[in-house]
Amino acid sequence: FASALLSTPAGTTAAAIRTLATSVQLLNITMKQSLVLLGLAASASAFTTAPARPAQSSTALFGGARGGATTLDGKKSTVATVKELLDSSEMIFTVPASGITVSEAQNLRRSLPEGTTMKVVKNKLMSRAVEGTEYEPVGEMLQGANMWFFIEEDIGGSVKAFNSFTKEYAKKETHSILGGNIEGTNYDAAGVDTISKLPS
């Protein structure tokens, strides 16, 4: 612009300056509009929803420590595991699972005799696992959250360990044995206790 002004006759210099000033004003307005539009676009993007994330391959947060408990494969695996436990069990019994902390459950698990497995199993999955087995009658006990004890041979030691746990953690009133099954017959808490005292 400066070289254009120097080569312009004096009369037209004022006109050129006005034209230049107008151009600068238009340029400023255009820049302001651009900045406003950019600001609006940025603000709008802050309120748009984030794109959907692809499904995660891991279900560790949704299905327990190992994950998979909420997937079809995880459920099938649980049923298969419970069936294996049933096949090797002489007796099973159940207690309420709610209100037992992870730490308490770990201590209880450690106190059980070898050959006894403690497992929280969803009622629907337990129902599928016992279907067609001698343990099918336990379907009557499938209410609420249940923790199951699968006992290979030491029934007395297993019941004694559980009773010691309820005494130590003051859970006798809230976590007594709900019932059990041996050789296809269901027993209430008193029946399980009686069986546990029989000589092996």
Give per-residue pLDDT as tens, 67-95: 556 788 999 999 999 999 999 999 999 99
Q: Predicted confidence band at 131 (pLDDT cuts at 50, 70, 90)?
A: very high
Higher pLDDT, 6 or 135: 135
Q: Predicted confidence band at 137 (pLDDT cuts at 50, 70, 90)?
A: very high
According to the model, what pLDDT value does residue 2 have?
46
Q: Tell me, what amino acid is at 115?
A: G
Q: Which two tokens stand for residue 27?
A: 């340029």
According to the model, what pLDDT value does residue 30 have?
57
According to the model, what pLDDT value does residue 161 have?
97
Under DSSP, the state recorded for 93 is: E
- As a whole number of angstroms, the distance between CA 74 and CA 52 comes to 25
Evaluate if residue 156 carries a pLDDT over 70: yes
Q: Which two tokens stand for residue 111?
A: 């106190």
Q: What is the mean pLDDT of residues 100-126?
A: 96
Evaluate if residue 148 carries a pLDDT over 80: yes
Q: What is the mean pLDDT of the chain?
A: 80
Q: What is the mean pLDDT of residues 29-45?
A: 57
According to the model, what pLDDT value does residue 97 have?
94
- What do you get for the CA distance between the two ends of the chain, in Å? 109
Query: ∠ CA 37-39-45 to the nearest 5 degrees?
Result: 100
According to the model, what pLDDT value does residue 50 have?
44
Q: What is the mean pLDDT of residues 127-146?
A: 95
According to the model, what pLDDT value does residue 199 have?
85
Evaluate if residue 193 carries a pLDDT over 90: yes
- As a whole number of angstroms, the distance between CA 84 and CA 107 comes to 24
Higher pLDDT, 69 or 196: 196
